[in-house]
């Protein structure tokens, strides 16, 4: 017996919308900090980290590179291809560290990075229900069966209507 996958719902996000959502995230985070450093989960967290760093006037930015997707699907195994700088890992007050990503999906990546920096604050722009418990601050929740098309994934093209015309 085969299990049918849930239908994919498309959620295309424009550059303008993503910038607004990242600024909304920064606004929420401004009441949480203060933070001294950002750890950006690459690649998706690069753009939101830059925007949040600007809005919160943070200069210390590091990356942790985790491969969790391939060919537009979640991979079974995560791969860490760049670790967090030891100076941040050794930082005595981890609550001063902000971890930023574009999206939490299943929560596997977030859980892995949380193990590296216990006590850090994890923020994402978008959250899906399975990963939501791993996130401290987010802007928008989308259903688990929604695929978010980020602006760096898109070009300008026709989008068919949600409900077809018959």
Active-site residue list: 101-102, 105
Helices 46-56 and 15-30, packing angle to 10 deg: 50
Question: In this structure, what DSSP letter does residue 9 have?
Answer: E
Phi, psi of 98 (to 5 degrees): -110, 125
What's the CA dihedral at 25, 115, 40, 99 to 10 degrees? 30
Question: Alpha helix locations (H) across the chain?
Answer: 15-30, 46-56, 86-89, 108-116
| Distance from C-alpha of 26 to C-alpha of 20, rounded to nearest angstrom | 10
Ordered DSSP codes for 62-106: EEEEEEEEETTEEEEEEEEEEPPPHHHHT-S-GGGEEEEEEEESS
């Amino acid at each position: 017996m085969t299990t049918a996958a849930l239908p994919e719902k498309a959620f295309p996000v424009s550059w303008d919308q993503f910038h607004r959502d990242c600024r909304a995230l920064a606004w929420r985070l401004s009441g949480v900090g203060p933070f001294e450093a950002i750890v950006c989960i690459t690649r998706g967290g690069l753009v939101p980290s830059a925007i949040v760093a600007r809005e919160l006037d943070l200069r210390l930015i590091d990356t942790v590179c985790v491969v969790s997707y391939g060919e537009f699907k979640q991979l079974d195994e995560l791969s860490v291809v760049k670790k967090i700088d030891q100076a941040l890992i050794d930082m005595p007050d981890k609550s001063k560290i902000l971890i930023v990503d574009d999206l939490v999906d299943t929560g596997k990546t977030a859980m892995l990075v949380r193990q590296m920096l216990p006590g850090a604050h994890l923020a994402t722009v978008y959250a899906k229900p399975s990963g939501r418990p791993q996130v401290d601050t987010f802007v928008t929740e989308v259903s688990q069966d929604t695929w978010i098309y980020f602006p760096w994934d898109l070009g300008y093209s026709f989008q068919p209507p949600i409900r077809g015309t018959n």
